[in-house]
Structures are given as structure tokens and as C-alpha cells.
Amino acid sequence: MQGRRFYYPGGTRQAHARGKDDAGYERTQLTQRPTPGGTDQRARESAPSTAESVRVDAVDVTETVREGLPLPLLGSRKVLLDDVSITLRPGAFVAILGASGAGKTMLLRALSGQMQSQRGDIFYNGLNLLGHRHQFSTTTGFVPQDDIVHKNLRVEDALEYAACLRLPCNAPRQELVARVEEVLEDVDLTDQRKQLISRLSGGQRKRVNIALELLGRPTVFYLDEPTSGLDPGLDLKMMQLLRRLADRGQTVVLVTHTTSNIDLCDDICFLAPGGRLAYFGPPDQLKAFFHRDDYAGIYNLLYDEPERWAERFRQSPDYQRYVEAPHEQPKNIAPAWERENAPEPGAGACDNSVLQFWYLTRRYVNVMVHDLPTLLLLLLQAPIIAGLVWLLADRDVLRNTAAGVLSKGAPQDVYAQEVLFTVVVSAIWFGIINAAREIVKEAPIYRRERAINLRLFPYVLSKVAVLGALLAVQDFILFYIVGTKAGYPANGLLWHGTSGAFAELYVTLLLSSLAGLMMGLVISALVPNSDRAVSIVPVLLIPQIIFASVIFELKGDVGRWISTILPSRWGMQAVGSIDHLHDKFTDHSTAFYAHDAAHVLAFWGALAALTLVFFVLTLLAMRRKDTGI
């Protein structure tokens, strides 16, 4: 078997010696030949060997979805894929065609392991993908319709960060750089390596996405609409690039609506409406099967009579030759020694949580630095809010309150409470608004990296680390500006002096912000899009105002219980204790703001506990989404 690959008749662009195997395949022994793109020595060395090749068998793949009311006895089920069976030969270039809604992307996701079909099986070299998905995660590449790269990075930076995550942890720096250089040359982006991805053309961004997947040298390469939106010239260049990859030994499968260059493919999978297989085989026999000279005519035929053409193909010699015959051959065509030496789960990709955290944190910082308008807008929130509070706050209101000075015939803490409440709620606002979009906006990137080997804990922790550092700056700016007019207590409860009081109040604000940050990340992990996340932010913020025991009294067990899960309650108790506030709802007779170091530490502990709880909820929310990966 070594040195051989299997091909159907037609469609191949290789010179070879032909023969028959037991199942009726045309068998070919590869000989030296030029490829359409001109394969050089480096490309031949990087091509997958026969031992690394993967045959993919889809057997009776079926997918349905319920329409109408989501009740068991109401509504109807719509068939998205209807008993689709095909075989992807090692080293073949396959295009999946069909009308909109015919199930093309659904089939691609099922083949690649991005989703589990309701019925049917996917086999990789005879191994059911359902039980071995992670084993083949590093041998498959998947480029979805959405970008799987941060647009605010330079091309080479995006590839280097991806290489750190997708190559072994112990890979030397020189190897990473060499691999990046190699894929840049493969996709013809060497001249654009220093450019921000956001400034590239649509075709160039598509090639960056392909380059990311090529870093791991995938044996099977899936692409969803890689040529959509491209002009005819760019469409041809993209198809020629994919043809070159297939000629190097990689199996390439793409979904496309464009038919002008599909003659470059080895096989065509044509789906009729309803997810029915209407044709599978070489492109040069497609028009003959449908008795049409143009692809538009074929689409019209399938629109009008999808069931008829699906049944006609099932009864045709082409079905026997290109669908049944491959499935009659044992699915485990790879030798036993090859299957025994299949890659271990996650083999080849860096799986060290500490290193993943370091790479993700560096990348996240780089993304934020290159998005200066957004970063400046976030930083400007603090001085703007602080300036408004500064205009209305009484002079030295916090200092005088801590000293017990009366003002206007009443305890000064009535006015100090207003200042501290605004500052605490603003700090929580910073955390929520900074984080609400940070996970959902990069969902396609996360799903792809998670499917390879990304761990949840370092991913979420990298968000907390970077956004937490941003919050530290925002809170400092906010409280420093406010303090220039409102003053600070003469002493803290834990540390002496004005600097000690400032430090205690600042720590309280930061802990409140971090709790708000984790609330924002929970929402970002749950919602389907960024707009939904932003719309939920007020729902999180308003309860912070209502249940902080500042505007409304906490009456009844329900109100007090709700307040315990909100950072504003604990943040206000901590800052009120430090500044000697009294509870206006109980005529100062209770110690809601207990001026005691142990109470402050307990309030800080409550804020830290809320942060931890919301952190765990974020992990659980993201793990729940993993079922769709």
C-alpha cells in the first residue's frame, strides 16, 4: 500500500499507472509529474505521506429540524440531509454544490466533525468519528464562512499566535517562524505580512484563514464558501490554490455556489433541495448525467423535481460506481499498522494550560492595542464619569464624613453616600460593559481553536487578566479624580494614613469591577450575538442600583436574598465601612456599614466569592456550547 493512492476514473490531473483493486476502484501508482501550481521540493516534503492519508466515509447521514411550535406533538420536521452516503478519497479535491438550503454546510460540518448528525456515521480510516473526534482534530482543517482570525492583528502576528497554539509546545522558535514563512508563501501573502488583516481585500482575508489552517498541515481540509464574494479572477486563484493543496496529497473539500472553475475538482457532490444526494462523481460526467450543458439548467431541474433526480441517481450506474462500490470495500482500507499509529488525541497541538494562557493573553493585548479607537473609548469612560461626579460633589465630603463632621445640620454621610454609590456602580458598569461582547464577538475563532485543542480555563482566564488590567486603570483614574475634590479618609481600617484609606477604597472598587466583569463574561458566553449581549447590559446594571440599600430599603427576605448575589451591595458595604457611613433606613441604629476591619475583609471575601461563582458559570456556559463543536 505504501506509495499508492486510490482514484476514481476521470478528474485526476496526475500521470499514473492504472490498475484495478478488488472493489472496482481504479488504482494508481504515483509517478513524478508536474502539478498545476508547480510543486517544488519543499512542497513535496511537506505533503502528507500515504501513512498519514485519511479516507472519509459518510454513511446514511441524516439531519432534521423541527419547524413550528417546539412541542413534541405539534409542528413538523424538515429534512436537511436525507441519507447521504459518499466517500472522500485520500488526496481528492471535492466540491459540494447545491441550492441554498440544500444542506451543503450541514454536510460539511458533519464530515469534519463540527457537528454530530442525528442519524448515520462518519468514518475516518474505518474509525467512527463519533468516538474518535479528538484523535483526528489535528489532522483536519476547517475554514467556516466567518473569519477565524482577529482582524486587528497583522498577518504575520495572527499566524505566529496560531502556530504557538497549533504546533507542539516544545517546538523551537525557529520552527514556528519557518512554518509561518512557509504558509505565507503557500497562500501568496508574503508581501502583505505586515498589514493589518482588517485592511486586506476579501480574497486576501480568505487566504489568511486558509493559512491559519495550513499551519498544522491538515490531511483533510474543509472549506465553507471560500470563494463567496470574490470576483472571477480571485475565484480562479483560490480554486488553483486548493488544487495545488490536493496535488500535494491533502484531501480538500469545499462548499461553493460558484461553478466556473469546478472542473479543477476531482469529484462533485451535488445536493438537491431536501438534502438529497443528486450526483456524486467526476465533474466531466456531471452535465452528461443531467443532459444539460450549463449548471443553471441543472439547478433548475433539481428545484423542480428534487425527488425524481435523487432517485434517478440512486438507480444509475454512476451511483453503483462512485457511491456503492467504495462502500462495499472495507472502510478500514488503511493498514492495521497505520490505524494503530493514528495520532493520539490532541497530538501535535500545544496542550499546556500555562502556555496557552500566555499565548492567548499576548494575543488579546495585541488585538486591543491595534484597536485604538475602542481602547480609547473604554479608557475615556473613567475620566468622563469622574468629571461629572467632581462637578457635583461637596468639597472634602469623604474626608469630613470619616471625621464625623456635620454639614448643613445633618451628618455629612448623606452626601458622601451619594458619591460612593456613584463610584461603586460606575466601577461595576466598567466591568460589565467591557466584557459583555468579548467572548461572543470571537465565537467562530473560539469554536475552531476549541475543536483543535484549546482549553477553557486558560481561555477565560486570559480575558480576565487583560480586562482586569484595564479595569485597574479605569478604577484608579475614576477614584483619583473624584478624590481630588471629595477627599479621602484620614486613615483606613487595615492600613494607616490617607494612602491606606485610598488603597482600601481602591481595592473595593477593583473587586466590584471584577465581579461585574465576570457577570459580563457570563452573558457573553450565553448570548448568540453581540447585539443581544449589549441589550442585556442594562438588565444587569439596574438591579445593582435597586438592591444596593442606597435608594431603596431592602425589605423582606426576597429583596435581601437578591442583594446578596449583586456586587453593588457588598461594594457599598465595604466603602461605607471604610468611610464611617451610617444606614439611613434604620436611623443609624444598625451596623450595615460596620466600621470594623473584619467586616471589610468579609465584604471583600463576598466580592471575591461572587467573582469566582461567575467565573465557574462562564466555564459551564461555554462548555454547554461545546456540544455544537
Residue by residue, DSSP assigns 544-611 as HHHTSSSSS---HHHHHHHHHT-HHHHHHHHHHHHTT---GGGTT-S-TT---HHHHHHHHHHHHHHH
Q: Which long-range contacts (CB under 8 A, 24 or more apart) does 552-556 make?
A: 553/585, 554/585
Judge whether residue 19 has pLDDT over 80: no
pLDDT value for 595? 83
Judge whether residue 496 has pLDDT over 50: yes
DSSP state of 48: P
Judge whether residue 159 has pLDDT over 90: yes
Q: Looking at 63-77, 111-125, 210-224, 495-509, which range is the least confident one?
A: 63-77
pLDDT value for 329? 64
pLDDT tier, 403 (very low <50, low <70, confident <90, very high otherwise): confident
Considering only CA atoms, which of 373, 381, 395 is closest in space to residue 425?
A: 381
Q: Are 298 and 287 in contact (CB under 8 A)?
A: yes
Considering only CA atoms, which of 178, 174, 204, 177 is closest in space to residue 191?
A: 204
Q: Are 166 and 216 in contact (CB under 8 A)?
A: yes
Judge whether residue 443 has pLDDT over 50: yes
pLDDT value for 593? 81
Half-sphere exposure of 458 (CA within 13 A, CB side): 21
Q: Residue 611 is placed in which grid cell?
A: 467573582
pLDDT value for 271? 95
pLDDT tier, 13 (very low <50, low <70, confident <90, very high otherwise): very low
pLDDT value for 364? 97
pLDDT value for 424? 97
Instruction: Please state the rounded mean pLDDT for residues 161-181.
Output: 90
Judge whether residue 2 has pLDDT over 50: no
CA distance 564 to 570: 8
pLDDT value for 27? 34
Judge whether residue 20 has pLDDT over 50: no
Q: Are 89 and 251 in contact (CB under 8 A)?
A: yes
Judge whether residue 39 has pLDDT over 50: no
Residue type for position 454:
L
- Largest distance between two CA atoms of the chain: 104
Judge whether residue 597 has pLDDT over 50: yes
CA distance 44 to 30: 13
At a CB cut-off of 8 Å and minimum separation 6, what does 36 contact?
Answer: 13, 240, 243, 244, 247, 264
Q: Are 570 and 592 in contact (CB under 8 A)?
A: no
Higher pLDDT, 503 or 146: 503
pLDDT value for 178? 93
CA distance 203 to 221: 18
Higher pLDDT, 10 or 617: 617
CA distance 122 to 133: 10
Half-sphere exposure of 477 (CA within 13 A, CB side): 18
CA distance 537 to 202: 33
pLDDT tens-digit map of 251-303: 999 999 888 899 999 999 999 999 999 999 999 999 999 999 888 899 999 99
Q: Which helix (H) or strand (E) holds 63?
A: strand 56-67
pLDDT value for 162? 93
pLDDT tier, 134 (very low <50, low <70, confident <90, very high otherwise): confident
pLDDT value for 75? 54
Q: Give the three-state DSSP class for 109.
A: helix
Considering only CA atoms, which of 259, 261, 260 is closest in space to residue 270?
A: 259
Tell me the helix, strand and coil percentages in the chain, rounded to 5.
55, 15, 30
Domains and CATH numbers, the chain: 4-139+220-340 (3.40.50.300), 394-628 (no CATH)
For 70-93, the DSSP string reads SSTTSSEEEEEEEEEEEEE-TT-E
Judge whether residue 122 has pLDDT over 80: yes
Judge whether residue 114 has pLDDT over 50: yes
pLDDT value for 293? 87
pLDDT value for 367? 95
pLDDT tens-digit map of 92-101: 999 999 988 8
pLDDT value for 556? 80
pLDDT value for 76? 65
pLDDT tens-digit map of 325-344: 887 765 554 444 344 545 55
What does residue 205 show for φ and ψ, rounded to 5 degrees?
-65, -40
CA distance 148 to 165: 14
Percent of the residues in the chain that have a pLDDT greater than 90, as a whole number: 56
At a CB cut-off of 8 Å and minimum separation 6, what does 201 contact?
Answer: none
Instruction: Please state the rounded mean pLDDT for residues 397-417.
Output: 73
pLDDT tens-digit map of 534-565: 999 999 999 999 998 888 888 888 888 999 99
pLDDT value for 79? 84
Considering only CA atoms, which of 449, 423, 462, 436 is closest in space to residue 548?
A: 423
Q: Averaging pLDDT over each range in 102-106, 171-175, 199-203, 604-608, which range is the top one?
A: 604-608
Higher pLDDT, 585 or 476: 476
The Cα angle at residue 338 between residues 333 and 344, in degrees rounded to 5:
120
Considering only CA atoms, which of 121, 90, 67, 108 is closest in space to residue 12?
A: 90
pTM of the model: 0.82
Q: Are 436 and 524 in contact (CB under 8 A)?
A: yes
At a CB cut-off of 8 Å and minimum separation 6, what does 374 contact?
Answer: 368
Q: Are 521 and 610 in contact (CB under 8 A)?
A: no
Residue showing cell 428534487: 306
Q: Which helix (H) or strand (E) holds 620?
A: helix 597-625
Q: Residue 193 is placed in which grid cell?
A: 505580512
For 594-614, the DSSP string reads ---HHHHHHHHHHHHHHHHHH
